[in-house]
Amino acid sequence: MNSLTKAIEYFLLITVELTVLFIGISAIVNMVLMYIPKEKLREWLSKRGIWGNILGAIVGALTPFCACSTIPMTLGMLNAGAPFGPVMSFVIASPLLNPIIISMVATLMGLKACLIYFGVTFVGSVIFGVILEKTGGSKHVKNIRAKQSCCGSAENVIPPAFAGKVKVAVQSAWKDFRAVLVFLLIGVGIGAGIYGYLPEEFVVRIAGSNNPLAIPVAAIVGIPLYIRAETAIPIGLALAQKGMSMGAVIALIIGGAGMAIPEMSMLASIFQKRLVASIVMVIFATAVAGGYVFNLVL
């Protein structure tokens, strides 16, 4: 009964926190994007040099990874002659610096953990964007045309008044939340079961800070585990509270967010296999490096 009570308390508390967090952050991001013209985002991605990669990572952080936004924007920019490096920084940063992931890490794991996570993934996106460009990754882009966004045209109409923008932003956030609610509940439910019933000694022995292999293994395990950020992060939080090292938790989140099979399938539609494999290696290296940095600092 004690374990069941703990599991139920965890489930209710985390569900409420993530619901408020998801809707609030999504609405804020939607509002921000209303004030940044798409032409400005394209201009940022067209900058050359390291500054272009930095701007590419910033745009990626503002643009959640999905077939409706990231893929058409990526292909459109490449077909328009935008520098390959900044576009790759954008592609890498988009899933890893998703505002929902950042806010969840900050709320559930602390501001320090969030800052380290952001720093590692942002720097990784910039550096690996440069590397992919220098190594000739642009040769492995498929010669296909950008398709029109799958988002409805009505959703692209921005009301002129501030109150109208707020209403549209909240409505869009609520729609997005309804779409991920099942995944969120699955993740919180699994996390609650781990929190209530999984022996702490077992987690510490397998994935504690004393096991140096826990981080690369967690980065790989995160791939099939990751359905949505809303699913993986509650599970990672529960494992952390049971003794899993923060480095392994972060490696699991980065590896899952960046190398999830659905996301790689999207990229395979516009990139050749060699470039997709390079991106997978980049994400894995970021996950492992981030995990060891976390354990070293925290």
Rounded to a whole number of angstroms, the CA Rg of the chain reads 19
For residue 139, report the phi and psi dihedrals to the nearest 5 degrees: -75, -10
- Determine the structural domain holding residue 91 and report its residue range: 2-297
Number of separate domains in the chain: 1
pLDDT of the residue at 154? 38
Give first-to-last CA distance, the chain, whole Å: 34
pLDDT of the residue at 27? 83
pLDDT of the residue at 207? 61
Sign for the CA dihedral angle at 160, 58, 175, 151 comes to positive
pLDDT of the residue at 201? 66
Between CA 172 and CA 155 the distance in angstroms is: 8
Q: Which amino acid is at 38?
A: K
Q: Mention every residue, 6+ apart, whose C-beta is less than 8 A from residue 52.
A: 44, 45, 46, 83, 85, 86, 89
Question: Could you tell me the pTM of the whole model?
Answer: 0.71
pLDDT of the residue at 153? 38
pLDDT values of the chain reduced to their tens digit, one per residue, 298 residues: 567 777 788 788 878 877 887 788 778 877 877 777 767 766 776 777 888 899 888 888 877 665 556 676 777 777 777 788 888 998 888 888 878 778 878 877 788 888 888 998 899 999 999 998 898 888 888 776 545 444 443 345 677 778 888 888 888 888 878 877 877 787 778 767 777 766 666 666 666 667 778 888 887 776 655 555 566 677 777 777 777 788 888 888 887 777 766 667 777 878 888 888 888 888 888 888 888 888 888 6
pLDDT of the residue at 103? 81
The torsion of the CA quartet 72, 73, 76, 78, rounded to 10 degrees, works out to -120
Q: Mention every residue, 6+ apart, whose C-beta is less than 8 A from residue 179.
A: none
